[in-house]
Copies of this chain bind each other. A is one copy, B any other.
Amino acid sequence: MNKKEIHIEKQGFPSEAIKRLSLYLRNLKKLREKNIELISSAEITQFLNVTPCQFRKDLSYFGGFGKRGVGYNVGKLIVELDNILGTNKEWKIALIGVGRLGSALLSFEGFSEFNIKIASAFDVDEEKIGRTLNGIEVENIKDLERNINKRKIKMAIICTPPEITQKLADRLTEIGVRGILNFAPIALKTSRDTFVSNVDMACELERLIFFLKGVEDGQK
């Protein structure tokens, strides 16, 4: 997944910074649970793969949330980040393709920490349609447009076979879905105002192998 897949006007901050803000938010919430109220950029980045400087820079794109000579108030910063990221209201997402990966994602706990809720699931398979998984009824993909419109859903996760993914993405953008997280091994083409994030697990592994191979070759 990659910044270039997200089509955005110039923003003044790197798109990767947003992913890091999510990371910070998650960790701040852990700190709050431990009743830690104050934290410096050096302390919080200690366990993330981020430099203190980058942490401060990322925050500075959105404002000055710390106190010089002191650090950041954990509770206050959580509120700010919740605001910036939109985590303070629930976001409904449709999931398309209830195969193994799809059903794993349906029951993935990790989304809830960011107030993300899978609100609809679709599949082509008659076997799956009508069944309920993790509280969500699997619907017929023929009803995609109708149901997504009805529920005013603006985001989708695609985990279908690659052959049908592009057409699906076209249908989704057609009805106003503006964010797509794509797990199918294909690079989606979408209009400029739709944000796509491709997670290509095979390519990811492939890259690891490449670097591993380099090490092994070097040892020979």
Contact = CB atoms under 8 A, between A and B. Distances in A.
B209 A116 contact: yes
Given A6-B211, A178-B212, A205-B111, A185 B18 contact: no
B208 A195 contact: yes
Interface residues of A, number: 68
A56 interface: no
Given A6-B211, A49-B189, A212-B195, A206 B110 contact: no
23 contacts: A4-B49, A5-B49, A18-B207, A19-B207, A49-B189, A85-B209, A86-B210, A99-B104, A101-B101, A105-B201, A110-B202, A111-B202, A116-B205, A154-B216, A155-B209, A155-B212, A178-B212, A179-B209, A179-B211, A181-B204, A197-B205, A199-B199, A199-B201
A201 B100 contact: no
Interface in A170-220: 178-181, 185, 187-189, 193, 195, 197, 199-213, 215-216
A178 to B, nearest CB: 5
**Copies of this protein chain in the complex:** 2
B22 A212 contact: no
A8 B211 contact: yes
A155 B195 contact: no
A57 interface: no
Given A86-B213, A179-B211, A212-B155, A206 B19 contact: yes
